Structure 1
Amino acid sequence: MSGSDDDTIRITPDGGDGDSFTSTTSQSWFSRIGGALMGLLFALLLLPGSGWLLFWNEGRAVQTARSLTEGAGIVRSVPAERPDATNEGKLVHVSGPVRMTQLPFDADFDVKPPNGTLRLARIVEMYQWVEENHSETRTRMGGGTETVTTSTYRREWREGRVDSSRFRQPNGHENPQPRQSSRNFFAQGVTLGGFRIAESQLSAIPAAEPLTPANGEATRYVGNDANNPRVGDLRISWRYAHPETVSVIGAQVGDGFGPYATNAGDRLLILRAGSLPAAAMFQQAQDDNKLLTWILRAVGVVLMFIGWSLLLAPLKVLADVIPPLGAVVGFGTMALAGVLTFLAAPVIIAVAWLFYRPLVGIAILAAGMALAYGITRLRRRRPQVEKPA
């Protein structure tokens, strides 16, 4: 038995720029039990998957750190003027001014960036419908639920297209396909001294500087009235990157660059805007690796918490036959899911450290045991204060 829509009610329009709808759906206790059991099956996949992500992430972080350390130890900085054939296949660092034979060009709008531009980015925003949903669920006696969802629709400028077919109320809120799309354009024939830089490698340079085309319009408007936009109208702007110098670390391949395969397992190819020493580029890459490691750790912990929550969800549904009891059990299952997550996740990370970094892992484990032992000894030696008779 599945949930069903009891009614759909339209609320007052939102000042002419949007509207809101409410829908009330009910779900029986038996339907909720079925959904909770399906969630339990999903949890049996999510829990080992999140554990694998945490374990794999530690190995990935170690491999990347070792590869960068290896690269920093063998890289050689070479002059940019002319590739030396004796460096073929070796890890080299080259830095200097860049040249190109042809600037990037947006032919659709006849937009040309200033001289020295390596990358031109077109950003296309469309005026379109967006949906926001806010739901409130009430548990009824007997374990069934009633959910009141308010869907608010308004028009905004958004890059890309919001899929209006997934809206709860798609009628009257249809978003057309945009007539133009965001796109990147790259300079041709880019050289760093005597070295060539491939077009695919230029995407590593961010286009962050706003461009004002020659006609003085920083933003192009595609539509009838910019002061009164309609759904489907476009707002187009450009950004560009024109570094005077570029620094590259990679394998010398002929008169160009390619990924360098390290013994640790990674393939190194680093390109940055500006004149940077090799040590600074490797340090920045190490910092990026640490940031990514913490992001993936957070993702793994959140997925594990969701998995434990789904695994314990049937207990709350069973207790919801009496709503106050279900609220207490629900709070308890969420707390238990948090405890299990913060017990299991650090253990998995610690095991990964023992597997990938046995010496460091053993040292940390020994330090933790010594700290725990020291605290215990101090507590035993603390003088007991005699209580007055």
Structure 2
Amino acid sequence: MGRRRSASVRGLASNIIGALLVLAGVGLVAMTSRALLNYRAAATRHGGELINLGTDAQPEAGQHGYMARIVATPRVVEAPRDPEFNLRVNTPVLTRRVEMFQWREVRIGDGVHYELDWVDRPLDASRFREPAGHTNPASFPISGRQFDAGLVQVGGFKLGPVLLHALPGSELALPDPKSLPENLAASFSRQGNYLVTSSHPGDPRLGDVRVSWEEVPLQEVTVVGRLDGDRLVAATDAADGRGYDVQVGDVPVLDMFPDLPEPPEFVAGARVLAVLLAALGAFVLLSRQRTRRDALLALGLGGLSVGIVASVLWIGGDSRTLGGWLAVALLSFLLTVWRLRRHR
């Protein structure tokens, strides 16, 4: 009687342990799948699933369409040039700024006074309260423009126009009077970071023009964008209305997109462990029947239980992942049927 009771207790304990192991495997794959689905759903708002390519990454097969994070200092392959002033600068974006020395109206409360200053747009003196004696030139002889580099790369990827213009920072570029065309060399002289038309640069007069250039500095940046072959572009279909981000330095993804949850780690390992736990639980449950102590049968049952649960969770999600779990469930089912027939 005591031996029967002891055997019954051991059998019950084995059933409980086996069932708990199967549940642990199923629970692990469910938790991992749910965390990954939540992360991907949040990532979709910013353009889709993101892969971290790290520093100075190069294009590889199978990356097309993913969002990617790359850390690198942009490399200018084809520098921009201002053809009118014959100025070429090693920068992603070169901007010409033109200002004219003009009258401007300054209002303080009910009072008004006028002063001459550098302004980057024509000021219509006819709109002044006291236009007499404060007439400004009607237009600028030259206008401001922006010049983009023909090719800029981060790592091995070419930057698309949106990301190119998103590169942060600005600093003055030094003009070179020696490179000026003859028609402009007669009119402009250098004063610090500017080219000016003033006869006396330190004492400008009404209508004098000064020109300066701003360049985007070459510095380490973190770029997030969509991979399009060997190009990095903005994801135009992103729900956040941007589909990209560019920040100075080596910036983690979660600092760039604070609304993203923590991505699950060791996903592949967790999936394998889930199948092994469920298989071990099935083996413990089968061990009460000596004729069924079959590791392959236990593996089939464990893979089948985990594969079915994971497949259900991925319905409507990533089709590639769903197909993978359906394949696991099908192979596990075939393995289970084969081993059961062998035992018969």
| Cα pair distance change 1:102/1:265, threshold 3 Å | closer
Name the counterpart of 1:305: none
Instruction: Write the distance in 2 (CA, Å) between the matches of 1:184 and 1:283.
Output: 33
Among candidates 118, 127, 138, match of residue 101 of structure 2:
127
Instruction: Give a deviation string over 1:228-256, Cα, whole Å, max 9, x none.
Output: 32221112222222324332212212222
Name the counterpart of 1:56: none
Identity among equivalent pairs (%): 30
| Cα pair distance change 1:211/1:168, threshold 3 Å | same
Name the counterpart of 1:253: 228
Q: Which amino acid aligns with 1:96?
A: A
Instruction: Give a deviation string over 1:170-209, Cα, whole Å, max 9, x none.
Output: 3332222122233322221112222111244322124422
Report the secondary structure of 1:185's partner residue: strand
Instruction: Give a deviation string over 1:150-174, Cα, whole Å, max 9, x none.
Output: 4322211122222323212333322
Report the secondary structure of 1:87's partner residue: coil
| Cα pair distance change 1:261/1:125, threshold 3 Å | closer
Q: Is the 8 A contact 2:236 2:243 kept in 1?
A: yes
Name the counterpart of 1:157: 118
Q: Which amino acid aligns with 2:115?
A: R
Among candidates 85, 101, 106, match of residue 82 of structure 2:
106
Q: Is the 8 A contact 1:188 1:199 kept in 2?
A: no
Cα-Cα RMSD: 3.2
Q: Is the 8 A contact 2:47 2:238 kept in 1?
A: no
Q: Which amino acid aligns with 1:211?
A: A
Instruction: Write the distance in 2 (CA, Å) between the matches of 1:221 and 1:261.
Output: 42
Instruction: Give a deviation string over 1:110-147, Cα, whole Å, max 9, x none.
Output: 3333x4x22222222211011123555xxxxxxxxxxx
Instruction: Write the distance in 2 (CA, Å) between the matches of 1:92 and 1:202.
Output: 16
Name the counterpart of 1:192: 154
Q: Is the 8 A contact 1:119 1:207 kept in 2?
A: no
Instruction: Give a deviation string over 1:274-311, Cα, whole Å, max 9, x none.
Output: 443323333599xxxxxxxxxxxxxxxxxxxxxxxxxx
TM, length-normalised to structure 1: 0.46
Q: Which amino acid aligns with 2:64?
A: E
Name the counterpart of 1:208: 170
Instruction: Write the distance in 2 (CA, Å) between the matches of 1:159 and 1:275.
Output: 35
Name the counterpart of 1:82: 58
| Cα pair distance change 1:267/1:213, threshold 3 Å | closer
Q: Is the 8 A contact 1:251 1:269 kept in 2?
A: yes
Q: Is the 8 A contact 1:72 1:279 kept in 2?
A: no
Among candidates 173, 180, 186, match of residue 142 of structure 2:
180
- After superposition, residues 28-39 of structure 1 pair within 5 angstroms as none
TM, length-normalised to structure 2: 0.51
| Cα pair distance change 1:274/1:225, threshold 3 Å | same
Q: Which amino acid aligns with 2:97?
A: I
Q: Aligned pairs, how many? A: 205
Q: Is the 8 A contact 1:126 1:232 kept in 2?
A: yes
Q: Is the 8 A contact 1:121 1:207 kept in 2?
A: no
Instruction: Give a deviation string over 1:64-118, Cα, whole Å, max 9, x none.
Output: xx967954994211265432342222221122233232212222223333x4x22
Q: Is the 8 A contact 1:211 1:239 kept in 2?
A: yes
Q: Which amino acid aligns with 2:173?
A: L
Report the secondary structure of 2:203's partner residue: coil
| Cα pair distance change 1:124/1:283, threshold 3 Å | farther
Report the secondary structure of 1:201's partner residue: helix
| Cα pair distance change 1:85/1:162, threshold 3 Å | farther
Instruction: Write the distance in 1 (CA, Å) between the matches of 2:219 and 2:194.
Output: 26
Instruction: Write the distance in 2 (CA, Å) between the matches of 1:284 and 1:162.
Output: 45
| Cα pair distance change 1:75/1:81, threshold 3 Å | closer
Question: Cα offset for 1:264?
Answer: 4.9
Q: Is the 8 A contact 1:259 1:269 kept in 2?
A: yes
| Cα pair distance change 1:263/1:272, threshold 3 Å | closer
Question: Cα offset for 1:214?
Answer: 4.1
Q: Is the 8 A contact 2:161 2:233 kept in 1?
A: no
Structure 1 spans left out of the alignment, 5+ residues: 1-65, 137-149, 286-389
Name the counterpart of 1:356: none
| Cα pair distance change 1:262/1:227, threshold 3 Å | closer
Structure 2 spans left out of the alignment, 5+ residues: 1-40, 178-189, 261-344
Name the counterpart of 2:265: none
Question: Cα offset for 1:261?
Answer: 6.0
Question: Cα offset for 1:265?
Answer: 5.0
Report the secondary structure of 1:84's partner residue: coil
Report the secondary structure of 2:74's partner residue: strand
- After superposition, residues 166-177 of structure 1 pair within 5 angstroms as 166-176=127-137, 177=139
Report the secondary structure of 2:87's partner residue: coil
Instruction: Write the distance in 1 (CA, Å) between the matches of 2:81 and 2:223.
Output: 25
